[in-house]
Structure 1
Amino acid sequence: MNTLEIELPDPAATTALAEALARALDGGLVVLLSGELGAGKTHLVRALLTALGVGGRIKSPTYSLVESYALPTGTAWHLDLYRIADPGELAWLGLDALSEPAALVLVEWPEHGEGALPPPDLRVRLVHAGGGRRASLQAASPRGARVLARLGECAGGLAGAG
């Protein structure tokens, strides 16, 4: 399975997708999240980090560009590159840690950082669809394909999975 399409009629469905994704993970993963403003990227990341055991407030890195969180399996990095005009601006962030195999890297607006980010394992595109959202998840590596296959096994409980 290389692509999974899921209807997300409401925020609860986005949370359910994040929880299923958390169960499908088996270590580090680089996830690129694309979509227009308000498509649910930050909601999905927050719900995923919560499902992985991050307690307390999960801040949006819109202004700080990057936030890190300790997980039992390693570190989660949440990047929001909306404000980046040129990928060269990322050099001062010290992105070397993002390539650690155990790291969970979640990047919003990855198109703003092309060439400066580690290769993706999973691409997630969120779009407005009627009154809700639609998520398209695409494997971009063997590790991403394994996660997507596990996610597909439990996708029956997700709205509009197919």
Structure 2
Amino acid sequence: MQTKVFPLHDETKTELLGAVLSSVCPADTTIYLTGDLGAGKTTMTRGFVRSRGYKGVVKSPTYTLVEEYQTDGVYVYHFDLYRLNDPEELEMMGIRDYFSPSSVRIVEWPSKGEGILPEADLEVNLEIVGNSRNAVIYARNEKGAAILEKMVFPKPAEL
């Protein structure tokens, strides 16, 4: 399994990582976001969505379960399953309809949808390390490996 680690010293770097990922991420991709509360999952998603030209507010779908963003001909669906009580609730909301070839799916707290959600192409684990954070990105299949290989995070001198 291919893995890359990206240091994220602040919120700006977390958004930048989302933008870098977005720049190499094709439609029909599923990304799982894992990490503690407050680790930056929604911040990274905001960078991803904004880099595709979305100008509105990008917010956490904690209470709605999913937020939809139409960007550059591709739908980005941002799921937050933190409050999900039973994975079967995903079936009732028509989860399969969101997994189309013209969408990117970003799923926070994917363990809550285990058994219903399809496999991720990439898993991004945001971990808090002291006063900083790291993003550890795992490719879960060949598509994910191809995406991860294209990801280049700018060095501080290049920012």
- Structure 1-normalised TM-score? 0.90
- Structure 1 contact 41–108 (Cα < 8 Å) conserved: yes
Using a 3 Å threshold, how does the CA distance of structure 1 residues 97 and 113 change in structure 2: closer, same or farther? same
Amino acid at match of 1:40: G
Amino acid at match of 1:148: L
TM-fit CA distance, 1:126: 0.5
The Cα offsets for residues 50-87 of structure 1, whole Å up to 9 and x where unpaired, read as 11111111121100001111122321111000001221
Q: Report sequence identity in percent.
A: 37
TM-fit CA distance, 1:158: 4.7
Amino acid at match of 2:99: S
Larger RCO of the pair (alpha carbons < 8 Å, separation 6+): 1
Amino acid at match of 1:133: R
- Counterpart CA distance in 2 for 1:142 and 1:9 is 29
Residue matched to 1:65 = 65
- Counterpart CA distance in 2 for 1:134 and 1:56 is 27
The Cα offsets for residues 86-129 of structure 1, whole Å up to 9 and x where unpaired, read as 21121111112232123100000001111111211000000111
Which consecutive residues of structure 2, in runs of 5 or more, have no partner in the other structure? none
Alignment of 1:77 onto 2:77: yes
Superposition map of 1:57-136 within 5 A:
57-136=57-136
Residue matched to 1:44 = 44
Q: Secondary structure at the match of 2:39?
A: coil
Residue matched to 1:149 = 149
The RMSD of aligned alpha carbons is: 1.4
Matched length: 156
Q: Which 4+ stretches in 1 moved above 3 angstroms?
A: none
